[in-house]
With several copies, the nearest count.
Chain A
C-alpha cells in the first residue's frame, strides 16, 4: 500500500473536477501550491469554487486564467510585493466572479469545524461590520445556497444567543467543507505522513476538512524517518490520499527552510497582470506549453540558488525581503 499514494503532478491535477470546491495550504506568500495551480490552468479547469483562509499569488494565477467562478476567503494580495489581487479585482469589477468575504478567524474556525465533523463553530469577531451585512450574502444572491451542493451552507452565517453563560449573541460560522485540499509542504513520507516546518497555518485543518487531500512535498522521504519523532509531524498519513514529489512546488511563494518567496517574480506578476492582456501574456510565458520542470529551467539555477534558505537559520541571510 505504501507506494500507491505517489503520483505525478499531472495525475494529481486530473483528480480535480470542474466545479470542485478546492482549498490550498499556506498563508499569503508562503507555501502555496503554485506548481499544482499551474497544472490546473494547463488542464483548463473551469468553475472552481476556491475557498481558503487567505489568497495569494496562486489564487491570482487561477483567477486570472479564468478557472474560478467563486472566490470565498478573507483577503487577497501579495504582501509587500503587490497591494491587492489585481486579477480578482478585475474579475469582480467585470462581474465575472462571485465573491464572499469572511475574516481570518472565521475562515480558520470554518475549516476547523469541517475538519472536526462539526456543522459550525461560534465566534465573536467582526461584530457590527459589513462582513455580517445580511445584504452581502453573495452566494445566496447567486442562488448557490439552495442545497443542491451539499457542501455549500444554506446561509453565510447565523446567530444564536449563548444558552449557557451570558446570553450574548454569538456568530455561528458554517463548516468549510471542501472536495479537495492541496498542501505544499517540506516533507512527506512514502505513506503520506506530512512534516511541515515553520508555522503550519491552517494546514492540519484543511487536510481533514477535504474529501481528498493531495500533498506536494519538496522531499518524499522514507516513512520510518518521519516516524522516529511523531511529535514533529503535522498531518497523519491516513489523512493524505496522494503525494507528489515536487521540488520548488511553491515557487514563487516561499517554503520555510527551503527557499524565500521570489519577490521580483511576484512583483512583476502583480504589475503585469493588472490587465487581462497582461495576464494572458504572463500565462503564455510561464504556464502554457510547458511543465513544472520547464518552468524551473526557465527560472534558471542561479535564480533558485539565490532564493535558498539557510539550513541553519531556516531563512536566507542574504535575501532581505523574505
Chain B
C-alpha cells in the first residue's frame, strides 16, 4: 500500500512506514484487549506488546485469543496466530466475545473514508451498478461496531478522504438510520450497544482524531514534511485543523530496532530504508 513512498528515508533516519507503525502502536494502552487485522496493524500491535503494552491481549477473529506469535502472521487464518495463545477456537466464539463487550481496540485499514469516519471497502461507484467491486466488509464492520475504539491506517490521497463515501461498509460517527437512510449520530442508533467508534486515523500525512459530539475528524499531529494547511488540501471535506498539537513524535531507536530486526525481518509489511 505504501510501496512508492515507504523506502524514502528522511533525514532523521526512518521511513514513513516506520513512523506510521510507531504512531499506530502508541494508540494501544497496556492491558487492553485488541482485535487485530493483518499488515501494519498487526505489526503495530506486536510492537506495542514489546514496548509500552506488555499486557495487551491480542485477539484474531479466526478464533485465537491472547496470542503471542513468534513469527509474524500474514493473515488471521495463519496458524502463526495460535502460538502461545490462551485458547484457540473459531470465528463464532471470537464474535461472541466481541459482541459481549470484551474488545477495547480494533485496528483496521481503510480504502476510502469520509469526515465522520465512515469507511467504504465494498465498491467504487454505485453498489447496484459498480465501476469496481472491492473485497467487501469481512469482519471490519463487526470489529468497529463492537470495540470501544477503532484505529485506521490509511494512504492519504484526496480520493480516499472524501466528502461522502458511496457505500458505508464500516460505521463511523454519523451513520444512516434505516429505512429512511437519514444521517444520525452513532450513539443514537446504537443505543445500549454503543461503546465508541473510530478514534484515530494514522495516514501517510498525519494522525487524525474525531470529536465525539460532532463526529467530525480533526488533525491531531502532522508528519514531518507536512503542514496542517497542506494536509487540509488533501481532504475532500473541510478538515478541522484548529486542534493540531504539532508534529507526530518520531520513532525511537529501540522501536526501529524492534520493527526491522525482530518483528518484520522479512520486510513483509515494512521495508527497510533504501539507503
Contact = CB atoms under 8 A, between A and B. Distances in A.
- How large, as a class, is the contact surface on chain B? 35 or more
Given A193-B86, A238-B102, A125 B146 contact: yes
B20 interface: no
Contact of A105 (B33, B77, B99, B169): B99
Interface stretch (A16-24, A34-42, A198-206): A198-206
Interface string A90-112: 00110000010111111011001
A45 B179 CA distance: 38
B62 A131 contact: no
A27 interface: yes
A126 B193 contact: no
A291 B98 CA distance: 39
A29 B62 CA distance: 12
Classify chain A's interface size.
Answer: 35 or more
Interface string B113-144: 00000100010000110111111111111100
A104 B142 contact: yes
Interface string B64-78: 111010010111111
Contacts of A230: 64, 82, 84-88
A208 B100 contact: yes
A174 to B, nearest CB: 14
A128 B171 contact: yes
A101 B122 contact: yes
A199 B137 contact: no
Interface string A219-233: 000001011101101
Contacts of A105: 95, 98-99, 139, 142, 146
Nearest to B184: A128
B38 A92 contact: no
Contacts of A130: 122, 127, 167-169, 176
A111 to B, nearest CB: 8
A115 B100 CA distance: 6
Given A105-B98, A117-B100, A193 B81 contact: no
B158 interface: no
Interface in A97-152: 99, 101-106, 108-109, 112, 114-118, 123-136
28 contacts: A75-B138, A79-B74, A83-B135, A84-B133, A85-B133, A92-B133, A103-B139, A104-B95, A108-B92, A117-B99, A117-B146, A125-B146, A127-B190, A130-B127, A133-B178, A134-B179, A136-B127, A166-B192, A189-B86, A199-B64, A227-B85, A230-B84, A231-B89, A236-B65, A237-B86, A238-B86, A314-B82, A321-B266
Interface of B: 31, 33, 38-39, 55, 57, 60-66, 68, 71, 73-82, 84-93, 95-102, 118, 122, 127-128, 130-142, 145-146, 167-171, 175-179, 181, 184, 186, 189-193, 266, 268
